[in-house]
């Protein structure tokens, strides 16, 4: 199964109030494994950067001035994500900005049924705990020491690791042998019994269970020593 984990950086909190998308980072997963394929781009928002937003992600007006417009890269982005489910942390925020930009370009927006929200998953698994990306990375032992400021691609890479942990960790399947069963992430039963393939079980020689003449004589002598046994009363 193909999934895209993504993150965005923006000029502020609300596209309705004129805020724009300035960065997007996407990471491809196949059966919960990173493939190494990614999409990353900065955008010129055609408006000044909010000071609070810049303090979070460090993207200044000067840095973004020569970057392409979202419309210039929209088709390339859509070609990368295709029809795959889209995974994000607090996904409604990222979907809101992404769909605003697509609509502004006259392109079809992305159906919300494709949204997978890791924030909702985390709240279900850890009610009452902190659910920021930093806090969850700490909980699951994901190294974020290189995260000085927010960055869309870096955060998407961290989120991809977190998503795998939130949905069952690295042990997705139950197969004991990589050469047995399907390799598409489906559960498969082990094809071995006691370390031997089922079709190659070693047949043991039948054990001798019949008493020998000597054993029968010893048994009779032992029975004769029993006084008034119950089986003779009948």
Is the whole model's pTM more than 0.75, yes or no? no
Predicted local confidence at residue 202, as pLDDT: 59
Predicted local confidence at residue 8, as pLDDT: 98
Domain interval for residue 99: 2-166
Instruction: Give the separation between CA 44 and CA 63, rounded to whole angstroms.
Output: 9
Predicted local confidence at residue 221, as pLDDT: 83
- The answer to whether residue 202 is domain-embedded is no
**Binding residue positions:** 7, 9, 57, 155
Start-to-end CA span in the chain (Å): 74
- The answer to whether residue 154 is domain-embedded is yes
Q: What angle do CA 103, 91, 48 make, to 5 degrees?
A: 55
How would you write the pLDDT of the chain (234 residues) with one tens digit per residue? 999 999 999 999 999 999 999 999 999 999 999 999 999 999 999 999 999 999 999 999 999 999 999 999 999 999 999 999 999 999 999 999 999 999 999 999 999 999 999 999 999 999 999 999 999 999 999 998 887 778 999 999 999 999 999 999 765 554 444 444 444 443 333 343 344 444 455 566 666 667 778 877 888 888 888 887 777 765
The residue length of the chain stands at 234
Q: What is the dihedral of CA 23, 7, 13, 124, to 10 degrees?
A: 180
**Binding residue positions for a divalent metal cation:** 7, 9, 155
The catalytic position among 126, 131, 150, 209 is 150
Predicted local confidence at residue 10, as pLDDT: 98
- The answer to whether residue 137 is domain-embedded is yes
- The answer to whether residue 81 is domain-embedded is yes
Token pair for 172: 């997705």
Predicted local confidence at residue 94, as pLDDT: 98
CATH of the domain at 52: 3.30.420.10
Q: What is the dihedral of CA 105, 107, 108, 109, to 10 degrees?
A: -30
**Binding residue positions for substrate:** 7, 9, 57, 155
- The answer to whether residue 87 is domain-embedded is yes
Instruction: Give the closest residue to 5 by CA, choosing from 75, 89, 71, 76.
Output: 89
Domains identified in the chain, total number: 1
Instruction: Give the closest residue to 8 by CA, choosing from 53, 47, 48.
Output: 53
Predicted local confidence at residue 203, as pLDDT: 61
- The answer to whether residue 57 is domain-embedded is yes
Q: Distances from the Cα of 132 to the Cαs of 7, 14, 81, 219, in angstroms?
A: 14, 20, 25, 78
Asked about 150 being catalytic, the answer comes back as yes
Predicted local confidence at residue 209, as pLDDT: 66
- The answer to whether residue 208 is domain-embedded is no
Predicted local confidence at residue 186, as pLDDT: 39
SS3 of residue 7 by DSSP: strand
- The answer to whether residue 95 is domain-embedded is yes
């Amino acid at each position: 199964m193909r999934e895209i984990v993504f993150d965005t950086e923006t000029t502020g909190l609300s596209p309705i109030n004129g805020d724009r998308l300035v960065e997007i980072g996407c990471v491809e997963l196949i059966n919960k494994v990173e493939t190494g394929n990614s999409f990353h781009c900065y955008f010129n928002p055609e408006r000044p950067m909010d000071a609070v937003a810049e303090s979070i992600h460090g993207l200044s007006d000067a840095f973004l001035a020569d970057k392409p417009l979202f419309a210039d890269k929209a088709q390339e982005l859509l070609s990368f994500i295709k029809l795959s489910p889209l995974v994000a942390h607090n996904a409604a925020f990222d979907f809101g900005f992404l769909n605003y930009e697509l609509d502004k370009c006259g392109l079809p927006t992305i159906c919300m049924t494709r949204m997978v929200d890791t924030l909702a998953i985390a709240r279900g698994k850890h009610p009452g705990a902190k659910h920021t990306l930093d806090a969850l990375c700490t909980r699951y032992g994901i190294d974020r020491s290189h995260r000085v400021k927010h960055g869309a691609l870096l955060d998407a890479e961290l989120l991809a690791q977190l998503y795998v942990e939130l949905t069952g960790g690295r042990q997705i399947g139950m197969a004991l042998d990589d050469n047995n069963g399907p390799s598409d992430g489906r559960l498969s039963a082990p094809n071995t019994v006691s370390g031997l393939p089922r079709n190659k079980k070693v047949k043991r020689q039948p054990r001798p269970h019949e008493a020998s003449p000597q054993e029968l004589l010893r048994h009779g002598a032992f029975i004769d020593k029993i006084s008034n046994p119950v089986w003779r009363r009948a």
